[in-house]
Structure 1
Amino acid sequence: MATEADLLGAFEEHSPREIHDILTAGVSPLKLIQGKRPVDCLIEGYLRSPRFADCLRVMLTSGADVGDPLLQALLLDDASSLETQIAKSPSVLGRRLSSLTAFTCCRNVTALHICAEFNSTQCGKLLIEAGADVNARSLVDPDGLGGQTPIFHAVNSIFNYCRPMMEMLVSAGASLDVNVPMLLWGETMPWETIVFDVTPVSYAQCGLFRQFHRDERDVYDNIAFLVRARNGSAPPERNVPNKYLAK
C-alpha cells in the first residue's frame, strides 16, 4: 500500500510516474504532510531537474493547487499562461511573490527571481523581453535579510541546473557588482545559513561551503564565467579539485 512517505520519496526523485501511481493508489494530494500541503513539499524540495514541471502537473491534475496563477505559471515554465497574464496586467512584471524554497530565500521577490531559482527559462526569456528588471532586488525583511537580485538564485544551484538562467541574466545585463549585506539560504531547512556581504561572484563561491554541497568544478566554472563577463577575462583555474581536501 502506498504511503505519504512514498509520495515524499517520489518528490525527492522528481518522478512524475511514481507520483501518479502513488496518488492513484489512494494517497491524498491534499492531506497535510507534517503540517504542509503535499504540493508545497514538492515545491520546496532541493532538486531542480527538468522533471519538476511534470511532477507539478501531476499534482495539479490530481486536485492540488499552487494558490497563485502567476506563481503556478512560473513554476510550470508555462510561457503561454504568463504571456496572457502580462497582457491582462503588465504590473505582474514587478509583482512581489513568496515561496518557501530549499535554497536562496524567495520572500518578496519578483517573477524573474522565481524563474532564476527554478530555471524556468521560457518564462524568464518572456519576462526579460517584456521589460522585467533583471536587477530588481527582493525586499529586505525586518532582520535585514534579503535585497538580492535574480542572478543570485542561479549562481550556485544544485547540479548546476540553473546555469542556463545564469547565462540568460548575464546576457540581459544583470549587474555582477551588486552587494547584499545579509542573505538567507535554506530557510527553515537543516542547512539554513546566513551569508554576509555577498556579490553574485562571492555567492557562487559559497557553493564550496559544506552545507551547500555543490560540485567544486561547477563552482569554479561558474565563477570563471561571471568574472569573464564582468572583467573580460578570468585567471586560469588552479588546484581544482583542491588537492588538500582530497586527502
Structure 2
Amino acid sequence: MKNAKDVVAIIPARCGSKRVPQKNRLVIGDRSLLDRTAGCIERSGCIDRIILSTDDPDLARDAASYPSIRVAARPDRLAGDDATTEDVIRHLIRTENLAKSTIVLLQLTSPFRTGRDIAELLEEMRKTAAKSGVAVCRWRLPPSPPFGEVSDMHVLGRSPRIDYSPMRSIHNEHWAINGAMYIFQADEFGRSGKFYDENSAIHVMPNWRSIDIDYQDDVEIATAIAKARNL
C-alpha cells in the first residue's frame, strides 16, 4: 500500500519486566522476538522507517545487527513502571519529528504477527478512510468465573456475585483487541491521546496468532506453537 504520509514503525521495549524477566529479549522457537518483528516489518513492504525505543543496552546492541532499525534511547523518566506507551509515543513524535507520520505501533511480544497482517490493516484503513486501525481476534468467554483469593492456597473460596449469563450470550460474537498492531495518525493522536476509537478499522487475526507474551505460561505456549507449526 502506498501512503502519502511517512509510515513509521515504532517498537517500544522497556528493559524492566517483573512477570517475565528480560521479556523483550526472549527467543521463541529459534528466533528472537526482535528478529520476528523486524522480519514481519520487512515483509510487509509498507514501512518507511523503524524506531526502537528502549532503555535496554543489550536489546539496543542486538538491534545494531539490523541496519533498518534506528535505536532511540529512552530517557529514565519514560523507563519506570509509571510510564505509559502513550507517553513514549508523545516523546518520539516530538523528538523524531513524526508529527505528520502514520505510526505503526508494534510490541515485540506478539511473535506470530506477520507482514501481511500489517499490510492488510493499512489497506483496510485506506479503503475505509479510517484514521486508526487495530488488530483483533474473536472475544471468548473466560473458562470460569473467579473464585476465592490467590493468597489462600488450600480452598476454592467463594465466587464473587458476577452475572455471567449476559456474557455467555455474546461469546465469540465480539472482537477483542489482541495488542499485535495499533496504527494511527500522529497528528490525530496528538489531539485525542488515543490509539483507537469505535471507528477504527480492524484486521482479524486467528486466536492462536493473537498470543501476547505477558506471563511465563505465554512463553511456554508460544514456544509450543512455534515448534508445532515450524515457525
Question: Shorter-chain TM-score: what band?
Answer: under 0.3
Query: Relative to total residues, which structure has the larger helix share, 1 or 2?
Result: 1
TM-score by length of 1: 0.25
TM-score by length of 2: 0.26
Query: Relative to total residues, which structure has the larger strand share, 1 or 2?
Result: 2
